[in-house]
Amino acid sequence: MKVTIIGSGYVGLVTAVCFADLGHEVICIEKDDNKLNKLKNGIVPIYEPGLDDLLDKNRKENRIKFSNSIEEGVNFSNIIYLCVGTPQGEDGKADLSQVEEASRQIALYMKDYKLIVEKSTVPVNTHQWVKKTIKRYIKNKEIEFDVASNPEFLREGSALYDFMNPDRIVIGVESKKAENLLKELYKYFIDKNYKFLITTPAAAELIKHASNSFLAMKISYINMIAELCEKVGADINEVADGIGSDKRIGRAFLNAGIGYGGSCFPKDVKAFIKIAEEHGIDFGLLKETEKINKQRRLKFIEKIEEVLWISKDKNIAIWGLAFKPNTDDIREAPSIDVVKELYRLKANLFLYDPKAMENFKLLFPEKDNIHYKDDPYSAVEEADALLILTEWDEFININLEKIKAKMRLPIIIDGRNIYDKKKLLELGFEYYCIGR
């Protein structure tokens, strides 16, 4: 089948390349010229493991192409995916201006039936607005169209795997025609008996926000328990293993630490709270989820002061700037709050991240007491403390004796519980972590 993807960010590009790899013919519309030029030359503007190779393969087999013309995209196929950004607005509501703009532009070029599919994360009932917008701007009012919802459940860093191995594919449709088109598009998965849930657009939009908010709540729950573990001397990882062994709970997303970041959880929790408020419902549980998550960063910064007493003029190494491993994305990353505070306290900061340093430099340029290092070892030269904010494998497998020899003081404050406390103490480190 032919598919048009509007927006080539973390969601749009992965969706486009994976649909192409399934044998569909895809056009991906990107309005940012810099990004578009890179994509046309096979360069992936984001870091997502495996995406560059898969793009290359499908470009070579002519199954994917790129353009900045929505008109070309609308004429290319009768399935048009909205994968544009829905960032957080000032008041916590999702900013849907890109969804509105794309809907308006699609309407202007429609000459025959189109199925417009929301893949971007949008508040429930956005599909009503997309429909209304298309009705308003379409030139020929006789033309039929459908709007559907097909939310994504992709984790950055494992997006290709998540697309090709979905726990479930959810489609929210209002007509048999829309349902049949999407069933054909997802035939590969249906034939392999992946769970294919057909519901209404409103339910599909809600499923996305409800899933992400639940995962965020699960993280804040274990972080709340970690607080108590620290007070009573229990090990949070052992507690998490204990509760996570219950199949109804599950061990995943019970890793205590400095809390969640990224472009999804913080934004989706806020937007969901707002949506409920607009319908006169108080999502207090999610407000607490948010509050606990904010406190994690503050408590981590307090822990630094408890350990170091004074941060001013101390050499502090920071490993991990990305909001999680295997991505270059720093949106809402804990590192932003930690670096901001330590910079304010006039510590000498030595930062390292395998992939996210270029993005981080846009926020914190190299200057006076902010230094970027090319590897984890040089970051800890003469350091008075090492902070770990992202659990990259590179840090987990590091040569700790070598680290200790390079540091001025063997102090590690681990925000992601990546090391075995007993082993670190035996190696002579002062080791501080979360909930243990």
Give the binding site for ligand UDX (CB under 6 A): 152-156, 212, 215, 219, 253-255, 257, 259-262, 264-265, 323-324
Alpha carbon separation from 407 to 131, 151, 314, 317, 379 (Å, rounded): 60, 47, 12, 9, 9
Q: What number of other Cβ atoms are within 10 A of residue 43's Cβ?
A: 12
Nearest approach in angstroms of CB 265 to ligand UDX is 5
Nearest approach in angstroms of CB 325 to ligand UDX is 8
Q: Is 348 helix (H, G, I), strand (E, B) or coil?
A: strand
Q: Which is nearer to ligand UDX, 10 or 66 (CB)?
A: 10
Q: Which is nearer to ligand UDX, 4 or 263 (CB)?
A: 263
Q: Which residue has the tokens 């109804």?
A: 248
Nearest approach in angstroms of CB 58 to ligand UDX is 22
Q: Which is nearer to ligand UDX, 15 or 255 (CB)?
A: 255
Q: Which is nearer to ligand UDX, 201 or 244 (CB)?
A: 244
Catalytic annotation on 264?
yes
Active site residue: 18, 28, 83, 264, which one?
264
Q: Which residue has the tokens 């720093």?
A: 330
Considering only CA atoms, which of 161, 263, 157, 270 is closest in space to residue 209? 270
Per-residue burial over 253-291, b if 16 or more Cβ lie within 10 Å, else e, is: bbbbbbbbbbbbbbbbbbbbbbbbeeeeeebeebeebbe
Q: Which is nearer to ligand UDX, 99 or 107 (CB)?
A: 99
Q: Which is nearer to ligand UDX, 65 or 155 (CB)?
A: 155
Nearest approach in angstroms of CB 253 to ligand UDX is 4
Nearest approach in angstroms of CB 68 to ligand UDX is 26
Nearest approach in angstroms of CB 13 to ligand UDX is 14
Q: What number of other Cβ atoms are within 10 A of residue 343's Cβ?
A: 17
Nearest approach in angstroms of CB 153 to ligand UDX is 4
Q: Are 391 and 397 in contact (CB under 8 A)?
A: no
Q: Which is nearer to ligand UDX, 242 or 428 (CB)?
A: 242
Residue 179 burial class via C-beta count within 10 angstroms: exposed 0-12, middle 13-18, buried 19 and up: middle
The span from the CA of 197 to the CA of 199, in Å, is 6
Q: Are 166 and 20 in contact (CB under 8 A)?
A: no
Residue 195 burial class via C-beta count within 10 angstroms: exposed 0-12, middle 13-18, buried 19 and up: exposed
Nearest approach in angstroms of CB 218 to ligand UDX is 7
Long-range contacts, 202-205 (Cβ 8 Å, 24+):
202/124, 202/125, 202/127, 202/149, 202/172, 203/172, 204/148, 204/149, 204/150, 204/151, 204/170, 204/171, 204/172, 205/118, 205/122, 205/123, 205/124, 205/125, 205/126, 205/127, 205/149, 205/151, 205/172
The packing angle between helices 334-344 and 284-308, to 10°, is 40
Q: Which residue has the tokens 């804990």?
A: 334
Q: Which is nearer to ligand UDX, 260 or 352 (CB)?
A: 260
Q: Which residues, 6 or more positions from 431, have their beta carbon under 8 angstroms from its beta carbon? A: 412, 414, 419, 421, 424, 425
Active site residues: 264
